[in-house]
Homo-oligomer: A and B are copies of this chain.
Amino acid sequence: MCAMRRPTMTDVAREVGVTAKTVSRVLNGDGPVAVETRERVMEAVRKLGYQPNLMARNMRVGARDAAIGLVIPEMGNPFFGTVAGGVESAVRARGLTLIVGNSSETAELEQSLIATFLARRVSALMVVPSAAGDHRHLRGERVAGLPIVFLDRPAVGLTADSVVSANREGAREGVAHLIAHGHRRVGFVGDVPAALYTRRERFQGYRDALEAAGLPFDRSLVETGHDQEAAAGATMRLLALDDPPTALFAGNNLASMGAVVALSRARRKDVALVGFDDLPLAECLDPPLTVVAQDPARMGATAAELVLARLDGDRSRARRTLVPTRLVVRGSGELPAPR
């Protein structure tokens, strides 16, 4: 059980009695090769269990690794996991493999992962920026022609492609839906930090909807929580106001879950709720949860197509692609406002 050296192309060549180049030709379907030679080469490949070394090939051929690097905040989050899955399927179809890293939503890890990927000479970079990220350091790579696409949130300090949800439009639609059911005081449960792109955009959509309906903006109706439990607390504070909201809009999936938990604990089945981002069991809740659904798989696939186009030589200017959202009506968002 000695860990003997792997056979190389030269080993195969020697076995057959030809040159490495001939083996290379056979394996890559490259130049012309005699039928008999081809067969003898294939035979030797099988016999020795030869597997081409992609590392060596990549290095010689493009000085680029046939891989793309993806940085996401958290792989366990189904939203980001699905995005990553969409990316993987699309790039694998082109013979590229996916390298991923968890930034845990910290700028330090994000930078360190990006540095590692660059050192590996990935063919392209895809990043879901962490909240405190700054991407000026990537300017050099951009001008050097490395395709870089930002997902879910745009880059900071860098002009680059990005693929994001129609956050503002989606949030506006969700809040307008509540207003259409008679609500005049709609609470907003958001995440932190308030400066986060998605939070800002969705909050703008909330204000857009209020303004379009001629409703005043009331600062006390805006609360924030950074995780499910905190969002539940935020919801409780809103419900405890002197003039409480009759409907709630939750700015992301954690906020939605927090709001659902809080309403459930308070046994309040009269408060309307629309959440941004869908949840697996949304239809099993009581009442079933109405949401503004995102499309993470499409987001990943769209970003991958953009990257592939760039790899194929698309030199058009950087653009921001909006992935549409969809209002999924299930019940919680249609509870009427009390008289």
Q: How far is the CB of A255 from chain B (nearest CB, A)?
A: 13
Is A99 a contact partner of B102 (Cβ separation < 8 A)? no
Q: Measured between alpha carbons, how far is A63 from B116 in the docked complex, in Å?
A: 18
Q: Which residue of B lies closest to A88 (CB)?
A: B102
Interface residues of A in 50-77 (CB under 8 A from B): 51-56, 58-59, 63, 65, 67, 74-77
A 75-111 to B, binary, CB cutoff 8 A, 1 in contact else 0: 1111011101100110010000111111010000000
The verdict on A98 contacting B99 (CB below 8 Å), with A52-B119, A75-B84, A261-B283 known, is yes
Q: Does A6 contact B (CB under 8 A)?
A: yes
Residues of the B chain whose Cβ atoms lie less than 8 Å from the Cβ of A52:
119
From B81, B98, B261, B264, give the contact of A76 (CB < 8 A): B81
Q: Does A251 contact B (CB under 8 A)?
A: no
What are 9 A-B contacts defined by CB distance under 8 Å? Answer: A6-B144, A59-B59, A76-B84, A76-B85, A92-B101, A92-B113, A97-B99, A257-B281, A257-B284
Q: How far is the CB of A153 from chain B (nearest CB, A)?
A: 19
Is B140 a contact partner of A49 (Cβ separation < 8 A)? yes
Q: How far is the CB of A92 from chain B (nearest CB, A)?
A: 7
From B3, B58, B102, B283, give the contact of A85 (CB < 8 A): B102
Is A280 a contact partner of B279 (Cβ separation < 8 A)? yes
Closest 7 CB pairs of A and B: A76-B82, A81-B81, A3-B145, A75-B85, A54-B119, A281-B281, A54-B120
Q: Measured between alpha carbons, how far is A313 from B140 in the docked complex, in Å?
A: 41
From B65, B77, B118, give the contact of A81 (CB < 8 A): B77
Q: Does A286 contact B (CB under 8 A)?
A: yes
A interface size (C-beta, 8 A): 62
Q: How many copies does the complex hold?
A: 2
Using a CB–CB distance below 8 Å, which chain A residues touch chain B? 1, 3-4, 6, 49, 51-56, 58-59, 63, 65, 67, 74-78, 80-82, 84-85, 88-89, 92, 97-102, 104, 113, 115-121, 140, 143-145, 257, 260-261, 264, 279-286, 296-297
Q: How far is the CB of A319 from chain B (nearest CB, A)?
A: 17
Is A284 a contact partner of B296 (Cβ separation < 8 A)? no
Task: List 18 extra interface pairs beyond A53-B119, A257-B281, CB under 8 A.
Answer: A1-B145, A4-B144, A51-B119, A53-B63, A55-B58, A55-B59, A55-B65, A56-B59, A59-B59, A76-B85, A76-B296, A92-B102, A92-B113, A97-B117, A260-B284, A264-B284, A264-B286, A285-B286
Residues of the B chain whose Cβ atoms lie less than 8 Å from the Cβ of A145:
1, 3
The verdict on A121 contacting B54 (CB below 8 Å), with A59-B59, A77-B78 known, is yes
Q: Which residue of B lies closest to A146 (CB)?
A: B3
- Most B Cβ at <10 Å: residue of A65, A97, A261: A97
Residues of the B chain whose Cβ atoms lie less than 8 Å from the Cβ of A119:
51-54
Residues of the B chain whose Cβ atoms lie less than 8 Å from the Cβ of A4:
144
Q: Measured between alpha carbons, how far is A67 from B116 in the docked complex, in Å?
A: 11
Is B56 a contact partner of A75 (Cβ separation < 8 A)? no
Q: How far is the CB of A11 from chain B (nearest CB, A)?
A: 14
Q: Measured between alpha carbons, how far is A88 from B99 in the docked complex, in Å?
A: 10
Q: How far is the CB of A267 from chain B (nearest CB, A)?
A: 11
Q: How far is the CB of A25 from chain B (nearest CB, A)?
A: 18
Is B121 a contact partner of A101 (Cβ separation < 8 A)? no
